[in-house]
Every structure is written in structure tokens, then in C-alpha cells.
Amino acid sequence: MQKILLYTVIALAVVQKAGAQDLPYYNPGNTPVFQLRYGIGFPLNGLKDNVNSTSYNGWDASLMFPVGQHFQVGLNIEYQDFYQKYPMATYPYGDKSTNITAVVSNSIQNIPITARATYKFLSSQAAVQPYISAGVGVNAISYRQYLGEFSNIDQNNGKLAVNGEAGVLIPVTRNRKFGFNLAAEYNYLPYNEFGIDNLNYWGVKGGLFVSLR
Amino acid sequence: MKKYWGLAVLCGAALAWQGCRKEPLNHLSNAETRIYITQYDTTANFTTYKTFSVADSVALLINGQNVGMELGPGETAFIRAFDSAMTAAGYAQVSKESSPDLAVNLTHISTNYVGVTYFSDYGDYWDPYYWGYGYGYGFPGYFSAYSINEDALAFDMFDLKNAGSNKQLKDVWSALIKGEDIFNTANVPAEVDTLFAQSPYLKM
């Protein structure tokens, strides 16, 4: 309920801001765009070996600046929380004479912060604006593992982040300043710690965009 | 663009609020907090032992200091459960005077962590005027001590059968249980069963 209330407040605030500047000759293609989206993450490869459940706890925000009619460049920060609790099981530890029985909980947070470039196939006046986007930057990682209630791993790292995205912008106001965004994204996130090659995941995103002038 | 700072702050707050990670420790039942560790001597042949005896009380170790023996309901339950599990594994329980092949000691390890934390904003809640002091006076921050107690139970199984020839008491099997509520008598049988389940070699 709290979440719904929060989303409603944000949506109303954005609509109010957007509607307040309804200029007749406004061209949204020339203004910075702020975007905020909710994200669902699906683990792949090395991440899936440690957390194989879908993450419903993710967000990203971006600020993009236009370069001509079709290109945008800017900054994106993303957050995706992966968590999984495995049922109690017995694991060999160290040499083969030691066994540990415990519930293992893995908690991994990926926070890719990337410089992004976007190409929009149609103009900013189109009713539906498909685009592709790519980014490169740093993935701030927090990896924690618990055996029962006892911490086994607690490490923060900064690693490479590369991501690609395809989606559509759907303006909903007459001046095209405000609208919805739907996208699918792939994150390539090398890790190479604790025998885990990578923390790759793909995700779907949905949220709002607003032109800032 | 400045006019959108409020919006950005609102969105940032939403991110911070929703972006909080799922805290693993908040999603564990008491049973799930526990961890069971066993280790054995790979040179020991557990089929060669026939009899065992468990100590009649539990040594209490507080912050690394041996403070004596204890025998509360939890300790008693552990001794009984261990007797039952060993008997079920095929070993015969005998008194310690009957020269058992295996002797089992139990140790309650209690560790107390004490920390001190500092709160700097107490002064906002109390007014020096209340005590008759006015302008220029103020309350300092406050220190508060906290204490966390962590309990564990250790088992050590010594080889008495070969003690004479080896000139030493060899610890052929050891185990440790840590976590919440481990001394609750209702939990004890399942905890001991878990130790034996992960030690299949412990059988005649």
C-alpha cells in the first residue's frame, strides 16, 4: 500500500510539473530528460549459480542530454537487489573431514553506474518512440553470504559494467514532455571473486520520463 | 532546470527507500539461524570403537575463561540426546569407570561482546532550562553501552581405547552448534540428530 501511495505521489508530481509548462512550440527533442523506472532482474550465468530467483527489487534513474534529434548521452544509475535463501543443507568445508549444515543466504546488490548513449529511431514528436541504448561504467557490488545467522562473506567491489537496452518511449501529454518508458536490458558484469565469473543479468523496466524544460 | 530539483529529490528518496536491500537476517526463523559444524580425524576407524561415555555435566567457558561446570535443563537435554544418538548408532553406553572406548566432553562457549556507542543529538530533547540553567548551557552527547551474548555448544569425542599406545588423548570427532535458542530443550534432539546426520561415518 505504501508503495502504491508513493508511486501515485511521484506520478502526480511529474504530471503536474510537466503540465505546468505546456508551451505551444515546445520541442522536447532539445531538452534534457530525466527518467525513473522500476526494474525486475533475471539472473544469468555466474549470478544465477548463486541466486537463481528473480529480483523484484530494482530501480534505475537517468539524466540524458540531447545531441541532435536522434541521439542522447547521459548518466544512468541502476540498483538491483538479488537475494536467495537456500534450505538447510550440508556442505563440505575446507578439507573433506569438515561438514557444515546451515541455511545459506546470498545477498548481492548490483549498482551499475554507466555513461549512456541512446539512439531514437523516430523524432521526439512520434507517438511511440523506439530506441536502443548502450552504456559503460562501474558496477558497485555488495556481496554478502550468511551461514545461518553468521556472516561468511561480506565484500564490496567496483568492477566493469557494460549494458545494452532496447525500449520504447510513449509520451502521454500533448507536448510530449512526459510519458512512459518500457524497456528490456542486458547487463554484462564481470566479477571474478569467490569463484563467481560474473554477475550478469537481464531485466525488464517500466517507468516515467520527463523533459526538464 | 532548478525547478525540477524538488522532483529529483522526491525520486531520489523513492529510490533510497525502495532500493534498500532485502536483509537476509530478517528472513530467518530461529531454527534457520543455527549452524552445525563437525570435523573428524580421517585416520580414525569408528567401527573399531564399541563403548562410549558422556561427561555428566557441561563445562562452561565464558569469554575464553573456564568458569566451572553447569547442568541446567538444556545441558541435561543435550547429554541425553547425545546418549540416545550414540546408542542408535550402535555404540554401547557405559559408565566412565568402565573404561569406555570413546569419551565425550561437552562445552558451553559463551561469548559476550560489549560495545559503546555515542549519541550526539540528545541535547535536542532536553532543555537545560528544565534544571535551572539558561543560555550557554547544553547537554553533551551521551554514551550508551550495549552487550551481545552469543552461545555455542561444542562436543569433543576422545579416543580412550588407543590412548595408552599413542600416549595421547586424540580428539577423533568434534562438533559445534551455534545460533539462536540452541539450549531450548524442545530443539535439542533435532540439533543432535543434525550432527549425526552429517557424520555418517559415526557408526559401528
Tell me whether residues A212 and B1 touch, CB distance under 8 A. Answer: yes
Whether residue B173 is contained in a domain is answered as yes
- From chain B, the residues in CB contact with A9 under 8 A are 10
Q: Hey, are the CB atoms on A109 and B180 less than 8 Å from each other?
A: no
Phi, psi of A63 (to 5 degrees): -125, 115
d(CA B70, CA B63): 16
B101 within a domain of the structure (yes/no): yes
In this prediction, the answer to ipTM > 0.85 reads no
What are A135-179's pLDDT values in tens digits?
A: 999 999 999 999 999 999 999 999 999 999 999 999 998 888 899
Position A39 confidence tier, pLDDT thresholds 50, 70, 90: very high
Does residue B17 belong to any structural domain of this protein? no
Query: A151 with A181: CB under 8 angstroms?
Result: no
Mean pLDDT of all residues in A201-210: 95
**Average pLDDT of the segment spanning B86-93:** 96
Query: Which pTM was predicted?
Result: 0.78
Question: Structurally, how many domains does chain B consist of?
Answer: 1
Q: Is the pLDDT of residue A191 over 60?
A: yes
Quick: pLDDT tens for B136-150.
666 666 666 667 788
- DSSP symbols for B148-190: EEEEEEEEEEEE-TTHHHHTS-EEEEEEEEESTTTT-TTTHHH
What the block records as the C-alpha cell of B83 is: 546418549
The pLDDT tens digits for B156-175 are 999 999 887 767 788 999 99
State residue A212's pLDDT score. 85
Q: Shortest CB distance from A98 goes to which of B8, B23, B37?
A: B37
Q: How far is A149 from chain B (nearest CA, A)?
A: 5
Residue B170 C-alpha from the chain's centroid: 24
Is B145 inside any structural domain?
A: yes
Cross-chain Cβ contact B14/A34 below 8 Å? no
Contact A209, A34 (CB under 8 A): yes
- Residue B20: inside a domain, yes or no? no
Count, in order, helices (H) and strands (E) of chain A. Answer: 2, 10
Angle ∠(B105,B189,B91) on CA atoms, nearest 5? 55
Are residues A71 and A119 in contact, defined by beta-carbon separation less than 8 angstroms? yes
- List, in sequence order, every beta strand (DSSP E) within A22-93: 33-43, 57-67, 71-92
Segments forming the whole domain that contains residue B73: 31-202
pLDDT at position A5 is 44
* Tens-digit pLDDT profile for residues A103-119: 999 999 999 999 999 99
What is the DSSP-derived secondary structure letter of residue A91? E
| CATH code for the part of the protein at A2-84+107-142+156-211 | 2.40.160.20
Over residues B29-37, mean pLDDT:
95
**Does A190 contact chain B (CB < 8 Å)?**
no
CATH code for the domain in which residue B45 is found: 3.30.160.670
Per-domain boundaries in chain A: 2-84+107-142+156-211
CA distance A182 to A171: 11
